[in-house]
Amino acid sequence: MRNSKIPKLTIVGAGPGDAELITLKAIKALENADVVLYDALVNEELLQYAVKAEIVFVGKRLGCHAYTQDQINELIVSMANRFGHVVRLKGGDPFVFGRGSEEIEYVEKFGVETAVVPGISSALGVPASVGISLTQRQVAESFWVITGTTSNHELSKDVYLASKSAATVVILMGMHKLEEIISIYKENRTDDLPIAIIQNGTKNTEQKVVGTIRSITKLVAENKISSPAIIVIGEVVKNTSKLTSYFQEHFEDEFIFQNLNLE
């Protein structure tokens, strides 16, 4: 029997990890979904809201993509035509390095109706959850959000530009390029610049290290920090009460604590 529902795609941001950091509008979209296609960074607890939907994992696990982007695009169109309302659930915000706009562009060519539900991006939500204020009066007037790895698998050139400014810099997908990032900062700025790296931010598996441009590579290796993680660089990192206590707890007798002149 042919589906009588109007084919529709809603691209939904699931937030940075903690299931409670999704929006009410996103939950309503999940409740209303006939199909949910979700990515690897999505907290699977959220799938409980998709009470009547067919649920398909389309993300990347152990380095392997379950589906290519072209296959996902085609799947959205065929599922929407067959079942009606497809929710594409993505980590963070779907328009921050999330390919949400590409999926919309593709399906609209096939007459599929579209809507977007924004989410809290890890770029904003993860620093905030550990107490880092990306802007701060007298300290940082702006912030950059940059990808560490472009579609050519290279470090974004914007990291060079950003490292010359006093802005706070937030780098996503940058862990494989950490050494390159550090050497750019060593060239353009001071070794004492604070930096925080947070893996699995807002989840119960969260891990973080805080140091300086000089100390961070060692701290990352010692604490076995890896992807998915965000890198936050700038003076704002040291002005965070939560991280100050983190410094005291973990590194009291270490050089990074002295470098930052924390009281």
Q: Does 121 bind ligand SAM (CB under 6 A)?
A: yes
Phi, psi (rounded to 5 degrees) for 42: -75, 135
- Contacts for 235 with CB less than 8 Å, ≥ 6 apart: 139, 140, 166, 168, 193, 194
Residue type, 149: T
Residue 156 makes contact with ligand SAM by CB under 6 A:
no
Please report whether residue 225 would count as binding ligand SAM according to CB under 6 A.
no
Q: Shortest distance, CB of residue 116 to ligand SAM, whole angstroms?
A: 13
Q: Is 39 a catalytic residue?
A: yes
Residue 126 makes contact with ligand SAM by CB under 6 A: yes
Half-sphere exposure of residue 235: CA atoms within 13 angstroms, side-chain side: 14
Q: Which of residues 15-54 bind ligand SAM (CB under 6 A)?
A: 16-17, 41
Is residue 216 a contact partner of residue 195, using CB atoms and an 8 Å limit?
Answer: yes
Q: In which element (H, E) is residue 68 found?
A: none
**Residue 234 binding ligand SAM, by CB under 6 A:** no
Q: Please return the burial class of 128, using the count of CB atoms within 10 Å of its CB with bins 0-12, 13-18 and 19+.
A: middle
Residues in contact with 87: Cβ distance below 8 Å, sequence separation at least 6, in sequence order: 9, 10, 12, 29, 30, 33, 35, 36, 37, 50, 53
122 sits near ligand SAM (criterion: CB under 6 A): yes
- What does R_g of the chain's alpha carbons equal in angstroms? 20
Query: Known catalytic residue: 70?
Result: no
CB closer to ligand SAM, 200 vs 259: 200
Nearest-CB residue for ligand SAM = 92
Three-state DSSP state, 179: helix
What is the residue type of 168?
Answer: T
129 binds ligand SAM (CB under 6 A): no
> Count of residues binding ligand SAM (CB under 6 A)?
26
Is 91 a residue that touches ligand SAM (CB under 6 A)? yes
8, 34, 79, 173: which is the annotated catalytic residue? 173
Tell me: does residue 127 bind ligand SAM (CB under 6 A).
no
For 47, the token pair is: 């799938």
- Structure token digits, residue 150: 């472009």
Catalytic residue at 60?
Answer: yes
The interface region with ligand SAM, picked from 3-11, 153-161, 218-226, 228-236 by CB under 6 A, is 228-236
Judged by the rule CB under 6 A, the positions of this chain that interact with ligand SAM are 16-17, 41, 90-93, 96-98, 121-123, 126, 172-173, 198-203, 227-230
Catalytic residues: 39, 60, 173
